[in-house]
């Protein structure tokens, strides 16, 4: 997503009575800021799920129904209060389409 603002040449009236004319166009491009709570550098299954959920506009309830767990479980995973067990890790990997922790070389013991 890009935020773009373009200024066109226009006539400006200055308080001292003179008039100026801008002679250039400026285009500013910048990435949109992250939404509140968006994990910019995820390191856990919960953070990867939260990032994917926010990217696609899912709610925690939507993900809970897909993974067949409670909404509170999704919340705990995303906040890092709990770590998914091996069965749930496999469901998360299937949901995401890849194992995010494999590329980070992190293993959790259950």
Whether residues 25 and 76 fall in one domain:
no
Q: How many CA atoms lie within 13 A of 17 on its CB side?
A: 0
Give residue-wise pLDDT tens across range 8-26. Answer: 556 666 666 666 656 666 7
Give residue-wise pLDDT tens across range 23-80. Answer: 666 777 877 777 888 888 899 999 999 999 999 999 999 999 999 999 999 999 999 9
SS3 at position 40: coil
The answer to whether residue 39 is domain-embedded is no
Whether residues 88 and 65 fall in one domain:
yes
- Indicate whether 5 pLDDT > 80: no
Whether residues 86 and 49 fall in one domain:
yes
Q: pTM for the whole thing?
A: 0.64
Whether residues 51 and 100 fall in one domain:
yes
- Indicate whether 104 pLDDT > 60: no
Whether residues 52 and 84 fall in one domain:
yes
Interatomic CA distance for residues 33 and 35, integer angstroms: 6
**Domain range for residue 66?**
45-104
pLDDT recorded at residue 36: 85
- Indicate whether 105 pLDDT > 70: no
Helix (H) or strand (E) segment spanning residue 105: none
Residues 42 and 50 sit within 8 Å (Cβ to Cβ) = yes
Q: How many CA atoms lie within 13 A of 91 on its CB side?
A: 14
CATH of the domain at 85: 1.10.260.40
């Amino acid at each position: 997503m890009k935020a773009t603002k373009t200024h066109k040449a226009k006539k400006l009236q200055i308080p001292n009575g003179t008039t100026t004319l801008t002679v250039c166009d400026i285009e500013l491009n910048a990435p949109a800021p992250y939404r509140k709570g968006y994990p910019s550098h995820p390191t856990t299954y919960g953070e990867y799920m939260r990032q994917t959920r926010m990217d696609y506009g899912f709610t925690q309830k939507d993900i809970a129904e897909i993974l067949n767990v409670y909404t509170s479980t999704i919340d705990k995973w995303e906040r890092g209060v709990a770590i998914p067990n091996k069965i749930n890790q496999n469901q998360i990997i299937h949901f995401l389409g890849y194992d995010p922790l494999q590329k980070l070389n992190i293993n959790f013991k259950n």
